[in-house]
A and B are shown apart, each in its own frame.
Chain A
C-alpha cells in the first residue's frame, strides 16, 4: 500500500493545513478531515547538515523545504546530489528516523 503524508482540510473553509492544528488560522473552525498531500513540487530551500543527532548513522543529511503542487509546504529529506532552488522534485514516504525500535516515516524527495 502506498503511504501518504496527511494534510488536514478545514471543514469550515476548505484550507488544507500541514501539520495539523486544533483551530483553523483562516476561519477559526475546529473540524478537519485528513487528506493525502500531493508528492510533487518544487524545492524552496535546502541545507546539508553535518552535525546530526546521535541516532543518525550517516555523516550528513540533506534537508529541504518543498512547495507541493497544491500549495502546501513540507520539510523533508532530499536524496539529490546537487540540489538547486526551484528544481522539480517528487517525494516518497520512507523511513526517515530510527530511535530504538521506533521508526518514523516521512517524505524523502528525489529529482524530477
Chain B
C-alpha cells in the first residue's frame, strides 16, 4: 500500500449557519484547495448523517461535486452516524493507498439547526435499536447517563470531574475562532453556587446540560494525496499513518461489561499498530466528547491511561492544553461543536493544524504525533486515525 498524506485542510465555524447545506460543504472544500494549491482532485467523498431527514436533501456528494465544478470525477456520500467523518477519511485513505486515485477530497458537512431541538434529538435517537431501545424513548444522552452512573459507581468519577472536562474544553474553545461556544464556565457557576441547578439543569441524570455537546451546523475538509503529489505541494508533510475501525453491539444492554467501550479499544489498537507507534507516543489528541464522560472513558480505552485512571490524569492537568498530553485542544465536541457528519473531519482538521504548528494560541508545542477518535452510535462504530508529521 502507498503512503497517504493530508495536503490541504479547510473548515467553517461550527455554530448556527444560515446557508444551504451544499454551501456549508463547499466553503471548507474551496479553503482546502487554496490551502494546497490544487484546483482539481480525482475523487470526492462527502460525510453526512442527516441531510435526508433534516434538510430534505439526498445525494449530497452529487450536488457538491457539481457545485465545486469537479464533474465528471466520482463522488459518494458516506453515512456512518456520528463517525461518518472519519469513515469518509478512511474511504479516501483506501482510495489513495490502493493506488486507485492520487488525490481525494473528503468533506464533512451537517446542517442540524434547521430543525428544532426535539426533532434533532429524535433524529439522533434513530441510531438506537428500534425494537429494544427506541420504543422506550431511549436517546443518546440517556445511554450516556446510564453509562456515567456505572462509571461513577465503579471508578469514583464524580460530577466535579465531568465539570472539569467541560471547563477545560470550553477554555480551549475560547482560543479557537471556529468553535461553536465561546463561553467560559466555572465550577462555581455550573456546580457549586445556589444557581447551579438553574444554570446547569439535569438532562440525563447524572449528566447535566454542560456535560452535553451543543447541536451545531458546520463543515470541514481534508485533501488526501499520494507521496508524489504531497511532495510537490509546499505544505508540511503530514502522513495519515494509522487507520483503525471496530464495531460493537447495537444494543448497549448486550455488552458484557457495560463500562467498556470495546470498539474504541479495538479501533485505537489497529490505528496505532498500522502507524507503528504506542499510545504513549501521542502528543495531541481529539477525542469524541459528545458527553464529558466519553473523554475520560476514551482516554482510557485507547491506552493513554489505565482503566479507571482517566479522571485522575484530568484532575492533575495532564490533559489540559499545557499538560503532557493535551486532549481536545480545539474545544472538542463539547465546545467546538458537533455537526454530526462533519465532526470526524473537523477532528482531523485540528490535528493537522496542530502538527503543522499553525494552531496559534492553542498550539501544542512541538507536536509531531496526533490522534483522533470518532465515535458512532453509543460506541457501536468507532474510527481512530493516527497522524505523523514527517521531517
Q: How far is the CB of A70 from chain B (nearest CB, A)?
A: 14
Q: Does B35 lie at the interface of the complex (its beta carbon under 8 Å from any beta carbon of A)?
A: no
Whole-angstrom CA separation of A47 from B18 in the bound complex: 35
A63:B142 contact, CB within 8 angstroms? yes
Q: Does A23 lie at the interface of the complex (its beta carbon under 8 Å from any beta carbon of B)?
A: no
B203:A85 contact, CB within 8 angstroms? no
Interface of A is mostly: strand
Q: How far is the CB of B345 from chain A (nearest CB, A)?
A: 27
A45:B146 contact, CB within 8 angstroms? yes
- Chain A residues lying within 8 Å of B141, measured Cβ to Cβ, are 49, 51
Task: Output the nearest chain A residue to B208 by Cβ-Cβ distance.
Answer: A50
Within 8 A of B (CB), among A13-40: 18-19
- Chain A residues lying within 8 Å of B135, measured Cβ to Cβ, are 96-97, 104, 106
- Chain A residues lying within 8 Å of B146, measured Cβ to Cβ, are 45-47, 63-65
Within 8 A of B (CB), among A35-79: 44-54, 56, 61, 63-65, 73-77
**Chain A residues touching B, range:** 20 to 34
Q: Does B100 lie at the interface of the complex (its beta carbon under 8 Å from any beta carbon of A)?
A: no
Task: Output the nearest chain B residue to A77 by Cβ-Cβ distance.
Answer: B136
Please name the 3 residue pairs, one residue from A and one from B, whose CB atoms are nearest each other, closest first: A47-B145, A104-B135, A48-B205
Give residues in B with beta carbon < 8 Å to A: 118-119, 121-122, 125, 129, 131-133, 135-139, 141-142, 145-147, 149-150, 153, 201-207, 251-254, 258
Jot down 21 A-B pairs with beta carbons below 8 A, ordered by A: A44-B150, A45-B258, A47-B142, A48-B202, A49-B142, A51-B121, A51-B204, A53-B118, A54-B119, A56-B137, A61-B137, A63-B136, A63-B137, A65-B146, A65-B253, A73-B254, A75-B253, A85-B149, A85-B153, A96-B135, A97-B135
